[in-house]
Amino acid sequence: MSHDLFPPGIQHALDLAGIFVFATAGALLAVRKNFDVFGICVLALVTALGGGLLRDLVIGAVPPAAFGELSFFLTPLVAAALVFFLHPEVQRINRAINVFDAAGLGLFCVSGTTKAYEYGLGLTASAALGVATAVGGGVMRDVLAGGVPSLLRDREMYAVPAVVGASMVALFIGFDKLNGFTTGVAIVTAFVLRLLAIRYHWRAPLAWNRRSAVAEEP
């Protein structure tokens, strides 16, 4: 069963935009970690395509778009090349990573949810897969870069904005209100919520009534 929410070109544009901004975030993190050019390209590719690969395998869209669309493979390499030659000064890299990562999170939670629904999943399952699309590449990136995935620690609410954005899309679909404007609202909401969480250090709660004397790991 398929539901045509957008013309194919719109879905493709959303995917490409998310791929580019996530690839840029991954490449910038590689620069911060002093990876070489190969490491920069690998981290850009994994960050950009990891969530989409997971989504496509779950919904049965095989071969995944990352392998069937040359533009999906080339876009992260273009982003990696731009970062390699034009990355900001070192003290500005963290801010750039956060902005691009937040943009990717907003774009992918929306595109992942809509594509899952178009392939016949229910609203709840579609939203869950939208979240997986948004955070999957970041998890793989963090593991390869030697860090604890942000999804598990959810510092400064990494996953929550994706949940909000994907849930908004599911609600818009359920009420037959999904269009270009409401799609943009969901993307911007997830993006702004993530940036506000970074700016004001919002985070998901720790275990209830935690009294451990062991300091939290950095």
Q: Compute and round to an integer the Cα radius of gyration of the chain.
A: 17
Instruction: Break the chain down into helix, strand, coil percent, rounded to 5.
Output: 75, 0, 25
Closest CA to 169 of 57, 58, 16, 6: 6
The pLDDT assigned to 90 comes to 45
The pLDDT assigned to 208 comes to 75
The pLDDT assigned to 210 comes to 66
The pLDDT assigned to 81 comes to 93
Q: Which parts of the chain have pLDDT scores under 70?
A: 1-6, 8, 88-91, 154-156, 209-218
Handedness of CA 87, 112, 181, 74 (dihedral sign): positive
The pLDDT assigned to 6 comes to 63
Report cis status (omega within 30 of 0) of the bond before 63. yes
